[in-house]
Structure 1
């Protein structure tokens, strides 16, 4: 199963390198595009849950790395909930 990483820039200009066990991330995000924080978190949740399910279908267990990545995204995003119009930018895909 092809895995990938994707780099994002948070509203405070810090960056994170994120992991997905599947290329499904490409169906949800576009490099160079900014997303409202709530939309980015929702799309991340949808994509990483699908990726984890693909691992379960192939190997018989869900992907704990995908769920850990989602937890990290949600935790970091919570820091910006009170910000005015917070945006997250997907800067690149790394395969």
Structure 2
């Protein structure tokens, strides 16, 4: 199962590198795109749950790393209002062009 990382730039300019056990994040976030903190939380929670579900389907257990990533994002997001903007600055690996 391909793993990936994605980097977020928070409203204060700090960046956070995040982990996903699958490429599911690509279905919910786009490099260079701006999202509100509230949108980011909704999108990453859904994406990381989907990624964990993929791990469960393949290996028979949920991915605790996906849950930990969601928790780290939520803790970081608490510092900002829900309508503040973040930017997804990188996603590794990227998707192959169709």
TM-score of the two chains, using structure 1 as the length reference: 0.94
Equivalenced residue count is 93
CA distance in 1, matches of 2:87, 2:53: 25
Name the SS for the 1:81 alignment partner: coil
**Aligned-pair distance for 1:47?**
0.1
Residues in 2 aligned to 1:49 and 1:88: alpha-carbon distance in whole angstroms: 21
Partner residue in 1 for 2:43: 43
Question: Does 2:51 correspond to 1:92?
Answer: no
Unaligned runs of 5+ in 1: none
Give 1:1-95 correspondences, 5 Å limit: 1-81=1-81, 85-95=83-93
Q: How far is 1:81 from its partner?
A: 2.6
SS in 2 for 1:46: helix
Gaps of 5+ in 2: 94-98
SS of 1:16 mapped into structure 2: strand
For 2:23, what is the secondary structure of its paired residue? coil
SS in structure 2 at match of 1:24: helix
Q: CA RMSD in A?
A: 1.0
The equivalent of 2:96 in structure 1 is none
Report runs of 4+ in structure 1 exceeding 6 Å deviation: none
